[in-house]
Structure 1
């Protein structure tokens, strides 16, 4: 076995030991297919007020411009599907936000993986990314054979569906590269038909400026009144397109204790949410990604749903 294959196997085995669902590797370089798609999406203003999407266009498409000397993109998936969900008829929270903020949980695992490479392989230079820099993580995960991009624009796998985080290490080490898998959406349009705000404008195209996640997390202004009654009781994020996807029948609950929700969260009723105080918010969402929207943002969302 050559050193490239040996190192590849070592990295994948350690990723598994750290609790990642899967690990795929691609050659770092320019994403030719993604470039025109991203440009067209931005030109149609489908990013709404997410102006950061316009920044670093070249870096977004070419990791060698982001991490000097990079040769490989190591993509990793981490499951967040919960064992239990919120009670029925409550205001809803995206499942990924039930537990501790994934940025910190995954960043620590990535640092451990990078340190492992340095100990086992030698001088490996690179950077860890969790949804925090101009990296097209879904495109890299698909290129690395971890799944295909579904019609709802999320990464999908036949074995476990789509309830997982995607992260990557961009490193200056040449490895064995994986190949993409085929698309298994077929003629299914479940996600397109179910989207409450019709944000999936055509297969594989999501108008971010109409997405419930955008309204409830990214948008700093008031939610447009045209969308009154269309948010389906989602107060932070939205899982509709994933919940209806047939491939998510295969989701299995995660085994990461840090992703377990605060005990109170799952049993809170609409009334509890409407009466939430800043103290309760801080307690229930102590280390959660929900802190991004702040107490005032969550209250705004609840009031929009309630009125």
Structure 2
């Protein structure tokens, strides 16, 4: 049996590595004081657009002890999704995170295994796993846990591996050793702000979510506004522009998670293939894919918008 904070912490970090996570950082669970006014201001300016779920559970977003009774620690984890190959250049583009299987299921399984390992080795530990589908401020916790800094694009950035990774958490009722935040290394660079075709990054570190190409192609449930025509640069699902231009992403390395490997057909698809795709082909190529969120009808209407 393991019996102290240092050993618990080392055990959790080594288990995270064994499960394929890129890195693991730990913070003391408590109210995110600095984030509260930022979140309030962001919502007051309607930067969430039709993502009304962002307005729900305001207190829970800021305080993990309201999500897990007697929570002591937030274990933040990064999982790389940077692909070794990208799409045919003559194609409508989809965000790299959506190349493989839906990350929610892939990561949830890993988190359940991590929690089981913790309980098996340490004993009676209660916790919950979170993957971007509950009111948890992932990037804030990852930054607080020393896994990177929140860049001008709003993405979590790290010097060694850039930003092409998912963020997930385990919130547990176990005292651990806590990591410290790292410094910001964006400097005077404005590559992400300059490159965004819809001007969604309204100021350094402030993103108007309702102007982001990802919002228009995934979240928006009505027609894309006419004034956005010609601004999407062939993005049909999501957008990676701010990440692709970020100098820190020169250091991205391909992931080693087989479930994130794309269907080979996806990489070779041309614009013509996308335009002629049938529901049947969509179901085969994008089985268990994040594209299911936009549905066949959503992807088709996005492509029509790009063509008009």
Structure 2 length as normaliser, TM-score? 0.99
**How far apart, in 1, do the equivalents of 2:3 and 2:194 lie?**
49
1:2: how far off?
6.9
Q: Deviations over 1:172-195 (max 9, x none)?
A: 000000000000000000000000
Matched, 1:116 2:105: no
Could you say what secondary structure the match of 1:229 adopts? coil
1:71: how far off?
0.5
1:43: how far off?
0.2
State the 4+ residue runs in structure 1 displaced beyond 3 angstroms. none
Could you say what secondary structure the match of 2:132 adopts? coil
**How far apart, in 1, do the equivalents of 2:213 and 2:182 lie?**
29
Matched, 1:30 2:31: yes
**How far apart, in 1, do the equivalents of 2:171 and 2:3 lie?**
21
Q: Tell me the residue number matched to 2:87.
A: 86
Could you say what secondary structure the match of 2:294 adopts? helix
Structure 1 length as normaliser, TM-score? 0.99
Gaps of 5+ in 1: none
Could you say what secondary structure the match of 2:230 adopts? coil
1:89: how far off?
2.5
Q: Deviations over 1:214-238 (max 9, x none)?
A: 0000000000001000011000000
**How far apart, in 2, do the equivalents of 1:2 and 1:173 lie?**
12
**How far apart, in 1, do the equivalents of 2:45 and 2:282 lie?**
37
Gaps of 5+ in 2: none
Q: Deviations over 1:38-81 (max 9, x none)?
A: 00000000000000000000000000011111010000000000
- CA-atom RMSD, angstroms? 0.8
Q: Tell me the residue number matched to 1:155.
A: 156
Could you say what secondary structure the match of 2:85 adopts? coil
Matched, 1:266 2:267: yes
**How far apart, in 2, do the equivalents of 1:105 and 1:172 lie?**
24
**How far apart, in 2, do the equivalents of 1:138 and 1:2 lie?**
31
Number of residue pairs aligned between Structure 1 and Structure 2: 307
Q: Tell me the residue number matched to 2:277.
A: 276
Could you say what secondary structure the match of 2:119 adopts? helix
1:87: how far off?
1.0
Could you say what secondary structure the match of 1:73 adopts? strand
Matched, 1:204 2:205: yes
Could you say what secondary structure the match of 1:196 adopts? coil
Q: Tell me the residue number matched to 1:233.
A: 234
Alpha carbons 2:3, 2:122 under 8 Å: kept: no
Could you say what secondary structure the match of 2:108 adopts? helix
Alpha carbons 2:112, 2:129 under 8 Å: kept: yes
**How far apart, in 2, do the equivalents of 1:152 and 1:240 lie?**
10
Q: Tell me the residue number matched to 1:52.
A: 53
Alpha carbons 2:72, 2:174 under 8 Å: kept: yes
**How far apart, in 2, do the equivalents of 1:131 and 1:196 lie?**
26
Matched, 1:99 2:81: no
Could you say what secondary structure the match of 1:9 adopts? helix
Could you say what secondary structure the match of 1:25 adopts? strand
